[in-house]
Amino acid sequence: MQSRKCFALLEIANMDQTPISFEFLGSKTYSLKGSQTVWVKTARSGWDKRQATLQIVLHADGELRCKPLLIFHGKGDKKGYLFYKSLRAEYKLYDKRVVVAFNDKAYANTDTMLEWLRS
C-alpha cells in the first residue's frame, strides 16, 4: 500500500488575474423617484476608460507572501523628463504593499512577472 503525500497549507496557493476599471457605472446614477434634478459626480476625465489588471496570490494558510500586482495599460518606458516625473509621482500614490507595473496591453508578461517577483 502506498503512503499518501500531504501538502502543508503554506505549499498550496492560487493565483488569479481580473480586469478592473477606475470608474464603475459611469453612465448610471441613482435618485429618488420623481426628483427634478439629479447631481452626478464623476472621477477625473478619462478615468472611465482607464483599465488595469489585478493579480493576487492566496495561500491556503492565509499568510500574505506575495504583494498584489496592478498592471496598467500604458508604457512605462517613454522618454522625457516630464513623463518620468509624473510616473514617479503616480507610483508614490500607491500603497507600498502593492506592486504597480505598466505595459501596452495591461496583462501579465515576462517583464511584469519579473518586476513583481523582484519586489
pTM: 0.64
Is there a domain that residue 28 lies in? Answer: no
Would you say residue 61 has pLDDT above 90?
yes
Is there a domain that residue 31 lies in? Answer: no
Is there a domain that residue 100 lies in? Answer: yes
Domain count, the chain: 1
Is there a domain that residue 36 lies in? Answer: no
Is there a domain that residue 63 lies in? Answer: yes
Is there a domain that residue 58 lies in? Answer: yes
Percent of the chain with pLDDT over 90: 19
Centre a 10 Å sphere on the Cβ of residue 68 and count the other Cβ atoms it contains.
15
Is there a domain that residue 29 lies in? Answer: no
The 3-state secondary structure of the chain reads CCCCCCCCHHHCEEEEEEEEECCCCCCCCCCCCCCCCCCCCCCCCCCCCCEEEEEEEEECCCCCCCCCEEEEECCCCCCCHHHHHHHHHHHHHCCCCCEEEEECCCCCCHHHHHHHHHC
pLDDT at residue number 43: 56
Q: In which domain, by residue range, is 74 found?
A: 10-23+41-114
Is there a domain that residue 2 lies in? Answer: no
